[in-house]
C-alpha cells in the first residue's frame, strides 16, 4: 500500500475531480447506474484522460486508432475493477459491443502480466480511482 501511495504522489499534477450532477436524461447505458457508479465512471474517465493524454471526447468517439483504443480499453478495465457493472453495460457506455469489453479485459490482463511499467501505471490508476477525492 505504501508503494502505491508513493506512486500516486508522482501524479500530483492531476487536478481534483469535480463531478457535476448528472444530466436529467442519461444515455441508455448509464440510466441504470447508481449515482456512486456514475461518479466512479467519471473519475476513471478523467484519470485515464489525464494519464494518457487522450481527451474524454476521443474516448467516447468512434475512433479506432491504437492510442485511443488502448486508453478506452484501460477505462473499461478500470470501470470493471471498481464497479459491479457487467461487461455488456461497460461496453455500451463507449458505444461498443460486449465482445469489445471482453477483449479489453483480456488485453489489459495480458499487458499487466507482460509489462512491468504498465502494471505499475495500472495499479496507480486503480488506487487513485478508488481513493476518496
Classified as helix, coil or strand, 88 is: helix
Ranges of each domain in the chain:
33-130
Looking at domain 33-130, its CATH superfamily turns out to be: DnaA protein, C-terminal DNA-binding domain (1.10.1750.10)
Contact yes or no for 14/47 (Cβ under 8 A) = yes
pLDDT at 90: 95
pLDDT at 1: 42
pLDDT at 3: 47
pLDDT under 50: residue ranges of the chain: 1-4, 7, 22, 133
- Name the helix (H) or strand (E) containing 9: helix 2-9
pLDDT at 9: 54
| CA–CA gap between residue 45 and residue 93 (Å, rounded) | 11
| CA–CA gap between residue 127 and residue 8 (Å, rounded) | 8
Contact yes or no for 8/16 (Cβ under 8 A) = no
Tell me how many degrees the CA angle 90-8-50 measures, rounded to the nearest 5: 50
Amino acid at each position: 500500500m505504501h508503494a502505491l501511495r508513493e506512486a500516486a504522489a508522482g501524479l500530483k499534477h492531476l487536478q481534483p475531480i469535480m463531478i457535476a450532477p448528472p444530466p436529467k436524461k442519461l444515455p441508455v447505458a448509464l440510466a441504470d447506474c447508481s449515482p456512486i457508479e456514475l461518479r466512479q465512471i467519471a473519475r476513471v474517465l478523467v484519470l485515464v484522460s489525464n494519464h494518457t493524454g487522450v481527451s474524454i471526447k476521443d474516448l467516447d468517439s468512434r475512433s479506432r486508432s491504437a492510442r485511443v483504443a488502448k486508453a478506452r480499453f484501460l477505462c473499461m478495465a478500470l470501470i470493471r475493477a471498481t464497479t459491479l457493472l457487467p461487461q455488456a453495460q461497460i461496453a455500451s457506455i463507449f458505444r461498443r459491443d460486449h465482445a469489445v469489453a471482453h477483449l479489453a479485459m483480456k488485453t489489459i490482463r495480458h499487458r499487466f502480466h507482460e509489462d512491468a511499467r504498465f502494471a505499475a501505471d495500472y495499479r496507480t490508476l486503480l488506487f487513485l480511482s478508488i481513493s476518496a477525492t
